[in-house]
Amino acid sequence: MKIEILGTGCPKCKKLAELTEEAVNELGVSAEIFKVTDIHKIIDYGVMVTPALVIDGDVKVAGKIPSKVEIINWIEEINI
Amino acid sequence: MKQKNKFLFIIIVFTFFYFMPFSSSKILNALMESLLMAQDYARQHVLLCLIPAFFIAGAIANFISQENVIKYFGAGANKFLSYTVASVSGTILAVCSCTVLPLFAGIYKRGAGIGPATAFLYSGPAINVLAIILTARVLGFELGLARAIGAIIFSVIIGLSMHFIFIEDEKKKNLNANKNLTIGKVEQEDRPLWQTTFYFAIMIGILIFANWGKDESIKIWQIIYNFKWFITGILLIILSWIVIKWFKKEERIQWVKSSWGFAIQILPLLLGGVLVAGFLLGRPGSEALIPKIWIENLVGGNSLWSNLFASVVGALMYFATLTEIPILQGLLGEGMGKGPALALLLAGPALSLPNMLVIRSIMGTKKTLVFIFLVVVMATFSGMLFGNFF
């Protein structure tokens, strides 16, 4: 599973990255987490407001930090 | 921290303490000014202005649907609306300064195009809610209002200018544009608009009444001043009632968390800005390290040169959120004219050397230079206009 955190490096993006790592660790799934800070790549996803979370190429949320529960749910959905 | 960096840090700190002429009265005076300025801020602005402002910013970040605003930036959106929304939406969208650049890039590449994109790029950082509130509070209501109005009007002018100057490029670009812009699935609880409006009105009311100033010349003003705490108290009670009755627990927690997030992010920077401004420029009425005469010569009065100089310096310098305010306070206290002050406020937040480089990577060198040129010209012009009347 490929997880990407889109953001130019502000505190919100870092928070999202932290929460995502925690979620992944709690679930024990194997996932690679990448931080995408290049603006051009971020827009290529159609995302205009960071932070954003992308799982396997799908934009799950953009513009706000989701709760860890929501992140866990998204990861589990993919694993089914 | 790496060992090499720790070593460097020790060398720097040691050299600083070894060589700084602390017994020089000038330095001592500058240090005192720095501390006194920080105390002024703590006593006058933190409790009644910054704290409510952080809560308002937190509320904006959480309870105003960004999606609803962003739909005005699509390629298919009504152009008139795109510009209008671009110029004011900075209050809603730019609450976190890092959102401005990606959003600008998105609007430019896939949305309504260079016009609304540059309008937003200019006004977004300039019209940041916290900045306007603190500007009005510290530098005076006229300057705060002028900053807000200047940002809005000139963002539209700049946007339209960019659009027409580069109209050929724009026509070629529309092949890739999305009619609608996706920002992923954003879950939004629908709250009736009147509730949200009322909630914000109460918070703004608290901010206004808690800061109501004394003015003995106007009767009604003075009456309100005498009752200001009573009114503020009532508004606070209404706010608590609203927050308990209309908001779910999770929303309340999110609101407080966001507000706290802003406080944590901004207060250290503001403290740094105040200490530096105090050390170099001193509080209004006192002099610190930089001689008053330098400031007066460079940016005093309201000449074309002063305004231009202020604009250019503002454009190049990087100001962390809100730090432009103590710096300007120091400059004004040392003889900077009000016109050049406005020029700096308008050119400062939108541009800085690092951020020009990012803009260039999105728009290209030519367009970036034209944008910078337009910003400096508009800022100089509005500075001169403002300086003339105030």
Domain extents in chain A: 2-79
Give a yes or no: residue B21 inside a domain.
Answer: no
Partner residue opposite B106 with nearest CB, options A7, A10, A43: A43
pLDDT level of residue A52 (50, 70, 90 thresholds): confident
A→B interface, C-beta within 8 Å: 7-13, 39-40, 42-43, 46-50, 52-53, 59-64
Mark out the alpha helices in chain B (DSSP H runs).
Answer: 3-19, 25-41, 51-63, 66-70, 79-88, 90-93, 100-110, 114-126, 129-139, 141-165, 167-173, 193-210, 219-246, 249-281, 292-299, 304-316, 324-333, 338-347, 353-363, 365-389
Q: Note whether B151 and B126 are within 8 A (CB).
A: yes
Give a yes or no: residue B349 inside a domain.
Answer: yes
Give the span between the Cα atoms of B16 and B211, in whole angstroms.
Answer: 41
Residue B363's SS3 state is helix
At residue B182, the pLDDT reads 52
The answer to whether the Cβ–Cβ distance between A49 and B178 falls below 8 Å is no
Optimal mutation site among A41, A47, A49, interface B, most CBs of chain B within 10 A: A49
Give the span between the Cα atoms of B303 and B306, in whole angstroms.
Answer: 5
Residue B340's SS3 state is helix
pLDDT of A47 higher than 80? no
Which residues of chain B are within 8 Å of residue A18 when distances are taken between CB atoms? none
Taking chain B (390 residues) in runs of 10, the rounded mean pLDDT of each run is: 87 90 85 90 86 86 74 76 83 70 79 85 84 88 88 89 85 56 51 82 86 76 84 90 87 86 84 88 80 84 89 87 88 88 89 86 90 92 88
Give the span between the Cα atoms of B368 and B165, in whole angstroms.
Answer: 12
H or E element at residue A61? strand A58-62
The answer to whether the Cβ–Cβ distance between A52 and B362 falls below 8 Å is no
Give the span between the Cα atoms of B129 and B138, in whole angstroms.
Answer: 14
At residue A40, the pLDDT reads 80
In CATH, what number does A2-79 get?
Answer: 3.40.30.10
From A72, A6, A70, select the one nearest A38 (Cα to Cα).
A6
Minimal CA separation from A50 to chain B, in Å:
6
Give a yes or no: residue B188 inside a domain.
Answer: no
Partner residue opposite A39 with nearest CB, options B70, B181, B362: B362
At residue B186, the pLDDT reads 47
At residue B280, the pLDDT reads 87
Structure tokens at B165: 């100057």
Give a yes or no: residue B232 inside a domain.
Answer: no
Q: Note whether B143 and B137 are within 8 A (CB).
A: no
Q: Which domain holds residue B295?
A: 33-179+248-389
Residue B95: DSSP 8-state: T
Question: How many domains is chain B built from?
Answer: 1
Q: Note whether B135 and B325 are within 8 A (CB).
A: yes
At residue B179, the pLDDT reads 47
Give a yes or no: residue B262 inside a domain.
Answer: yes
The residues with which A58 forms a beta bridge, in sequence order, are A55
pTM of the predicted model, to two decimals?
0.78
- ipTM, two decimals, is 0.71
Q: Which of A1, A10, A43, A48 is catalytic?
A: A10
H or E element at residue A52? strand A52-55
